[in-house]
Amino acid sequence: MLKKIWLVLIMLALSTSVFAASGKNSIQVKGSDTMVNLGQAWAEKYMEKNPGDFVAVTGGGSGTGFSSLISNTCDIAMASRSIKEKEITLANQKGIKPNEIKVAMDGLAVVVNPANPIGKLTIDQLAGIFTGRISNWKEVGGKDEKIVILSREVNSGTHVYFKEHVLRKLDPNSKEEFAPSALMLSSSQAIADEVAGNPVAIGYYGMGYISPKQKPVAVAKDEKSEYVIPTIENVINGTYPISRPLFLYTNGVPEGLVKKFVDFTLSREGQDIVLATDFVPVNR
């Protein structure tokens, strides 16, 4: 009996020392689902170059990333929106100073089923569709069929960005909301799958998720402007109207391992990975 207890104690001591050791050269990256693939690609390449260092990347949504940063359970938060005033106050209360680093750009694609004849829409029409004022495809020149609106859940930075920039057109006094009938799906992939299988659905997500099974809609600022499709060139030259910055947030100015990783994401190699995962580099 006594022997057993000793064994358990020794095992415990050993395992804690292992964890303690791994704690020193590992960083936790958490946040935006839009950026999860990008973060993972960075982490893989980074760990390849720096054997011994360990980077763990998880998703959950930009808001989840911020709350983890605030509760000090991650070192870097990935975010597809800027931090809110409320979150900064909360962070400061806990002694955390969020530090914003812009690492990439992303075009938000509005997608429909390839069988849908609609190929272009204005921002006004998009706002009308997603708020529910336009509920039939024939009102925007399509077939006489009900529109099924697909949206991300409220924990998604993409949801917040789309609401502020398309539905509310950046007007702080606007009270526009997604139609209550909008289906809230829990991931970009779920939206991609539903659009691929449903000829009357419309959804939105980061450009990286576009595949031949969905058709990106060309978007124009207003009726007089040109209709532009979401491509990397169009986001870089600024003609595509719904594009947004992607951020990493750290606690204070990055130091040590966190700095090494952030510098890597901004390096030529890191920015090549940005391009390879269908986002738009900021540092060229």
Residues at the contact surface with another protein, assessed by CB under 8 A = 60-61, 63-64, 66-67, 70-71, 84, 86-87, 90, 145-148, 153-155, 160, 175, 177, 180-186, 194, 197-198, 200-201
All residues at 6 or more sequence positions from 260 whose CB lies less than 8 Å from its CB, including other chains? 50, 53
For residue 77, the minimal CB distance to another protein (Å) is: 13
For residue 134, the minimal CB distance to another protein (Å) is: 14
Amino acid code (one letter) for 95: G
- Residue pair 242/228 in contact by the 8 Å Cβ criterion: no
Amino acid code (one letter) for 225: S
Counting Cα atoms < 13 Å in the Cβ hemisphere of 171 gives 10
For residue 110, the minimal CB distance to another protein (Å) is: 18
C-beta closer to another protein: residue 206 or 281: 206
Cα 163 from Cα 131, distance rounded (Å): 9
Cα 78 from Cα 60, distance rounded (Å): 10
Return the closest-CA partner of residue 47 out of 15, 22, 68, 13. Answer: 22
For residue 177, the minimal CB distance to another protein (Å) is: 5
- Residue pair 101/253 in contact by the 8 Å Cβ criterion: no
C-beta closer to another protein: residue 100 or 164: 164
For residue 61, the minimal CB distance to another protein (Å) is: 6
C-beta closer to another protein: residue 118 or 160: 160
C-beta closer to another protein: residue 98 or 241: 98
Q: Which residues pair with 177 in a beta bridge?
A: none
For residue 146, the minimal CB distance to another protein (Å) is: 5
C-beta closer to another protein: residue 63 or 254: 63
C-beta closer to another protein: residue 16 or 72: 72
Cα 97 from Cα 252, distance rounded (Å): 5
For residue 172, the minimal CB distance to another protein (Å) is: 9
C-beta closer to another protein: residue 47 or 148: 148
Cα end-to-end span (Å), the chain:
65
